[in-house]
Chains A and B, each alone.
Chain A
Amino acid sequence: MAETKFPNPSFWRYKDHIDWKAQAKNLKEVGGIIGDMLRETDWRAVAARHKKNLTLTGKRIADEAKAFAAMSNDERKDVILNGEKKLGKLYRSGCMATVRREWRGVGDTAYDFYEWLRMWGMFLGTFSKDLVPSLNATLYYRWMISYFCAHSFMDKNTLGQRGSALRMSHLLIYDIFRYVAENLVFLAKCDEKNGNATELNKKVVLFDEMTMGQIMAGFPDLLGIPYQLLPVFLVSEVDQLTCVPYIDAVESFGLPSDTCPVPSSECGAIVTDALPHMGSCFISSSMPCDGSTMASSYMARRFPNLPVFHLTFPVRYEYEETVEDAAEDIKHCIKFIEETTGAKWNWDAYFKQMKRFNLETQYELQKWEVNQTPYPQLIGPCYELFRKWNYEMDGGADPRVIKTFEKVNKIMLEAYEKREEAWRGKMKYRAIVWSCPAHYYANLTNWIANCWGVDVLVEMESLNFTRPLETEDKELALQDLARLYERMVMRRHTNGGYHNVVNELWRQCEIWKVDMILMYQNVACKNMATLQGLLDEQARQKDYKMVWIEHDLMDPRTVSRRAMRDKINEFMYTVMGATPIDESLVDFEDDATW
């Protein structure tokens, strides 16, 4: 098969059917809201705040100049070439953005700026493919506005990185945001309230929360979109406060506050009508947990006319007798998509994509191999996010991604040969992250490296199915696809028995030779909470140093980022007997920061 462009260029060409009267009405309403906001704003307070910020900025500049002047020549040279070292000074209490961009040294700052520009270029280029619906969507959906913080997200995930590590992180996060930008345009284009591209909607298959996209490999003429990924899931990593209104809305509706914020936020988005109206059908899923299962009925309630297939895999996925049942469900799902869209499953396209995905998995395993040595190279939040996105959403679909794998692999191996440090001068401890990280603090591993020299070599959510998928025998291929889906992010560990998350942790600790375990505790995750005692008990027996870090996944009001850091700080001081590498990062306020 000839290589086709990704995404299919025809998707961009489908005509929009914008209801301009409705747009005018909405614009009027938004204008009214803005007018109200302007009228109700205390402009004196705004002016006072800006004045205060200006004063602080002036003082900061003076302090920085003074500190620079007080340095020795060698120190000055080091700062100029290798960048600043007190990163906590970039944060200012009550501000959403950092006070300025990080100085990383001449070469790395120039490269960083190039990547900043490249991402802006990509965003503008992508949105210009169908600009009007995208702009209109920002007037309908608050989460669209949050994507304006994308660059800030990139910055905080690369904070403190230099050289090869910085280059690899940028390459990885660029691919994620390219995917984001393209899908944001598709969402806006398809949304009945915006682009209303009816012909494109006939090609769109929506997927439930975190449900993997690989099944769409057999439907190259269709567009698979993880429905809640951009309006809820990913945006909560970009902007920590995005999901708060959704959670409040659904809790006011009656949902208990102890449920997982992922399905809660999704249901809240449904209750507040924050999801685009689009698509030809919806693939609902029972994965990864009980709460996710239940969110499906809220979807069905909101969109009663959208045909739904419930993809439900056996929970005890290691029982060999369940594999054919799971494959049967995949077959029925394929049939459902065929019947709903009129498209035909294409085995050649499927095998081609899976071959690419297998290759990507091989590259991934190479990264693990390097990170397991005393000289880990690719660590940090960009990599963590990329791994999950590639495994769950891309799945070998986009041929451009394999090029990124190749480039990153080349940089990584060269850096390994040179025994580079992934975090220069900041590599004191080897750690593993277990359980699900807080969305609102996706860059915690970045902070802990910069502040304490703790390098997170791998996290639980990355350690999924790595067996090559069958690419010749059709029956075996479906069984492998089922195995892959059953081992999706989170589900691989939290389903199928305690051993998948408890015993597996100790096994991974041995493999990665870690000094400590960062054990996230999503206060609403029952699958993990029910193992708290066992994990504690066995960690003690096995003499592992483990810190529990409570969080509420998408709701920073329950446990703030600062409270999460405090927990780690105490652990590092008392249990590890450590001293911080960057004291400016030990305590700072970022409750309002994106």
Chain B
Amino acid sequence: MRKGREVYHLKDLKHLIYFENLLEEANNELVQQAQAEGKLAIGYTCYHIPEVLLNLGSCFSVRLRAPRTGSIDMATYYMSNYTCEFARALLERSIEGGYNFLDGLAGVDACSMMNRFYEHFELLKLNEKPKMFVSHVDVPFKIEDYTIRQYVKQMKHRLLNYMEDNYHVDTSDAALRKAVEEHNEVCRIISEIGEMRALENPPVTGYEFHILNLVSYTCPKYLILPLLRETLAEIKAREADDKPWYRARVAIVGSEIDDPSLTKMIEEAGAFVVSDRYCYGSTPGREVIELNDTDDVLTQICEHYMRHSECARYIADDKVLQRRETADKLAKKFHADGIIYEQMKFCDYWGFERALVSHIMNEEYGWPVLSIDRPYNARTSGQLRTRFQAFVESLEIKRIHQAKEAASNG
């Protein structure tokens, strides 16, 4: 690979630079192409908005990021400096006109700070397209029959109806099934590439996977799919290095990461990022949606998202346990040596979750854990780099001790 320190020796992927460039702008080349072809861009941030519902008819989903974020002073004026930098970065970019291309913004009232971003977006009239809509969908905190019904009702009333009313989008069962089909193909490709990270000497790096996964969220599906298909074939045929390039394998668990340079920083410290259980990662988000022929399609989709959600906002005991079990399962499946629990600074949900579960994963599940909070723009953080390096060293030392112990036990 050509960027950064020479940690990887794999041959560059054909489209990697193109993909990296796509991630440099929210309104990227493929988004522009789709809009030029008459499609409508619907922005969203949260997993609680089923991505597949935004890919109906002429609409396509764009998971919002604020790449190349520098100063967030204007957003800080509105939202103060004690709040989620991701939400502030999005507001800053909106004020700069970075999301003027959107035709709709599918927001949820799931965490208060992100909700305030949607509200400012609306209130400050940051996008004046005549049919622009901003939704504030209410989402449940637990999974019960009645909360699933509530979720479905909200998606219908507060999202699909807006799309129907403003853009005459077909939200029929047939349209939903078609969208799920396309969505599933993306999921299968990303998952197949992701599975390769379980190999001891994988043909893909965590950084590359992060890039591929992110373009699948931020570009129109029908335009990115051919490139993803080609990349999958390329990775399958790719020759791995003679021996693994990494010194340790780590799983990441936590709140939103849309910045591949954070993954790169971890890998530059010598840790191969084998799984990505965070918002904007592939878990959750790239699981195939299985539909049966009998039940209501919208309900099936909504239930899929509720069941797969790993959001710390889910308060019920079964979901609390699910989050820990998922972290453990992924770390085992991908042969991680340790887990990095991370949170966006000022995130209340993950602040509480990280503090408690980083102890539990260590004490009860036996995983070495690195627990960090981080800024939205983490690439320049020397402190984080040092902590990643120290964690890698600790994992290496642990491995050496284990090997010695095994040898002495005969």
Contacts and interface: CB of A to CB of B under 8 A. Distances in A.
Interface string A256-300: 101110010001000000000000000010100111011111101
Given A254-B358, A254-B371, A325-B147, A286 B82 contact: no
- Which of B82, B119, B316 is most buried by chain A, counting CB atoms within 10 A of its CB? B82
A498 B123 contact: yes
B352 A258 contact: no
* Category for how many chain A residues contact B: 35 or more
Interface stretch (B25-33, B106-114, B280-288, B327-335): B106-114
Contacts of A250: 355
Nearest to B323: A297
B350 to A, nearest CB: 9
B407 interface: no
B315 A312 contact: yes
B119 A497 contact: yes
A527 B153 contact: no
Contact of A294 (B136, B352, B373): B352
Contacts of B316: 310
Interface string A496-520: 1110000000000000000000000
A526 B315 contact: no
Contacts of A315: 109, 138
A293 B346 contact: no
A324 to B, nearest CB: 9
B317 interface: yes
Given A256-B373, A297-B356, A312-B142, A290 B78 contact: no
Interface stretch (A120-128, A401-409, A528-536): A528-536
Contacts of A199: none
14 contacts: A253-B355, A254-B355, A256-B373, A258-B346, A308-B317, A310-B316, A314-B140, A314-B150, A316-B109, A325-B147, A523-B82, A530-B112, A534-B78, A534-B123
A530 B80 contact: yes
Interface string A227-264: 00000000000000000000000100111101110010
Contact of A532 (B78, B112, B141, B149): B78
A256 B79 contact: no
A37 to B, nearest CB: 32
Interface of A: 250, 253-256, 258-260, 263, 267, 284, 286, 289-291, 293-298, 300-301, 308, 310, 312, 314-316, 319, 321-322, 325, 328-329, 332, 494-498, 523-524, 526-527, 529-534
Contacts of B109: 315-316, 496
B84 interface: yes
Given A256-B345, A256-B373, A290-B348, A533 B112 contact: no
A297 B112 contact: no
B359 A530 contact: no
Q: Is the interface of B mostly helix, strand, loop or mixed?
A: helix
B141 A533 contact: no
A289 B316 CA distance: 16
Interface residues of B, number: 53
A254 B317 CA distance: 21
B320 A300 contact: yes
Contact of A529 (B83, B144, B146, B149): B83
B146 A328 contact: yes
A332 B146 contact: yes
Contact of B116 (A260, A293, A530): A530
B87 interface: yes
Q: Which 4 A-B pairs have the closest CB atoms?
A: A533-B78, A294-B352, A530-B116, A312-B141
Given A256-B355, A314-B150, A293 B83 contact: no
Nearest to B346: A258
Contacts of B138: 314-316, 319, 322
A255 B346 contact: no
A495 B113 CA distance: 11
Given A258-B82, A316-B138, A310 B315 contact: yes
B79 A529 contact: yes
Contacts of A255: 351-352, 355
